[in-house]
Amino acid sequence: MNGLFTTLLILTAGISLILLVIYAFSLHALNKAAKNLESGDLQTSIPKTPLPFLGEISRHYNFLSGAVTDLQRVEEYQQRMLAYEKNEMSHLLEKEVLSRQLSQQLSETRGANQTISELNKDLEEKNRSLNEAINRLSSLNQLSRMLGMEHDRKKIYRMIVSLSSELLQAEIGHLLLMDEDGKSLSLEYSQGLGEKSDSRRKMAVGTGMAGWVASHKKPLLVRNFKNQEIFSVKSAMGYERKTAISAPIAIGEEVIGVISLINKTNDRSFNEDERTLLATIASETSMALHNALLLEKVQTGYFNMVQSLITAVEAKDIYTRGHSERVTQYSQLIAEQMCLSPERMEIIQKAGVLHDIGKITIELAILNKPSTLNKDEYEKIKVHPSVGYRILEPIDFEYDIKLCVLQHHERPDGKGYPNGTNAEEILLEARIMAVADAFDAMTTKRPYRDPMSVQVALEELERYAGSQFDPDAVVALKKIIDMLVSTDSVSLLHS
* Max mean pLDDT range (14-18, 400-404, 442-446): 400-404
Closest C-alpha to 351, from 316, 323, 327, 318: 327
State which H helix or E strand residue 260 sits in: strand 254-264
Contacts of 8 (CB under 8 A, 6+ apart): none
Nearest 5 degrees, angle CA 179-CA 182-CA 185? 45
Q: How confident is the model at residue 34 (pLDDT cuts 50, 70, 90)?
A: low
Whether the Cβ atoms of residue 174 and residue 161 lie closer than 8 Å to each other: yes
Residue 219 clears pLDDT 80, i.e. is over it: yes
Give CA–CA dist 235/173, Å, rounded. Answer: 13
pLDDT at 197: 47
pLDDT at 313: 65
pLDDT at 198: 45
Whether the Cβ atoms of residue 237 and residue 193 lie closer than 8 Å to each other: yes
Mean pLDDT of the 481-495 span: 71
The tens digit of pLDDT for each residue in 123-154 reads 777 777 667 666 666 666 666 676 666 677 78
The tens digit of pLDDT for each residue in 371-415 reads 888 888 888 889 999 999 998 887 777 899 999 999 999 999 999
DSSP state of 254: E
Give CA–CA dist 177/195, Å, rounded. Answer: 20
Give CA–CA dist 268/440, Å, rounded. Answer: 61
* Bigger pLDDT: 98 vs 18: 98
Chain Cα centroid distance, residue 294: 33
Contacts of 465 (CB under 8 A, 6+ apart): 471, 474, 475
Q: Terminus-to-terminus CA distance in the chain, angstroms?
A: 206
* Bigger pLDDT: 26 vs 347: 347
pLDDT at 49: 57
Nearest 5 degrees, angle CA 475-CA 481-CA 486? 125
pLDDT at 199: 47
Provide DSSP, 154-179.
Answer: HHHHHHHHHHHHHHTTEEEEEEEEE-
Whether the Cβ atoms of residue 186 and residue 200 lie closer than 8 Å to each other: yes
Give CA–CA dist 210/174, Å, rounded. Answer: 10
Contacts of 478 (CB under 8 A, 6+ apart): 458, 461, 462
Q: What is the mean pLDDT of the chain?
A: 81
Residue 97 clears pLDDT 70, i.e. is over it: yes
State which H helix or E strand residue 81 sits in: helix 52-149
pTM, 2 dp:
0.52
State which H helix or E strand residue 4 sits in: helix 2-39
pLDDT at 133: 62
Q: How confident is the model at residue 263 (pLDDT cuts 50, 70, 90)?
A: very high
Q: Cα Rg for the chain, rounded, in angstroms?
A: 60
Q: How many angstroms separate the Cα of 342 from the Cα of each of 8, 77, 187, 346, 466?
A: 172, 114, 16, 6, 26
Whether the Cβ atoms of residue 386 and residue 407 lie closer than 8 Å to each other: no
Residue 469 clears pLDDT 70, i.e. is over it: yes
Give CA–CA dist 473/464, Å, rounded. Answer: 12
pLDDT at 357: 85
Residue 353 clears pLDDT 80, i.e. is over it: yes
pLDDT at 118: 84
Low-confidence winner among 37-41, 100-104, 234-238, 338-342 (lowest mean pLDDT): 37-41
pLDDT at 38: 60
Q: How confident is the model at residue 71 (pLDDT cuts 50, 70, 90)?
A: confident
The tens digit of pLDDT for each residue in 158-217 reads 888 888 888 889 999 999 988 888 888 988 888 887 654 444 578 888 888 889 999 999
Q: How many angstroms separate the Cα of 452 from the Cα of each of 124, 328, 474, 495?
A: 80, 20, 17, 16
User: Can you name the residues that pair with 352 across neighbouring β-strands?
Assistant: none
Give CA–CA dist 140/135, Å, rounded. Answer: 8
Nearest 5 degrees, angle CA 473-CA 479-CA 484? 130
* Max mean pLDDT range (109-113, 138-142, 461-465): 461-465
What burial class does residue 323 get, using C-beta atoms within 10 Å of its C-beta: 0-12 exposed, 13-18 middle, 19+ buried?
Answer: buried
Contacts of 240 (CB under 8 A, 6+ apart): 233, 234
DSSP state of 495: -
pLDDT at 447: 73
Handedness of CA 43, 48, 54, 58 (dihedral sign): positive
Give CA–CA dist 170/184, Å, rounded. Answer: 25
Amino acid residing at 459: E
* Bigger pLDDT: 240 vs 363: 240
Residue 484's CB: how many other CB atoms inside 10 A?
Answer: 16
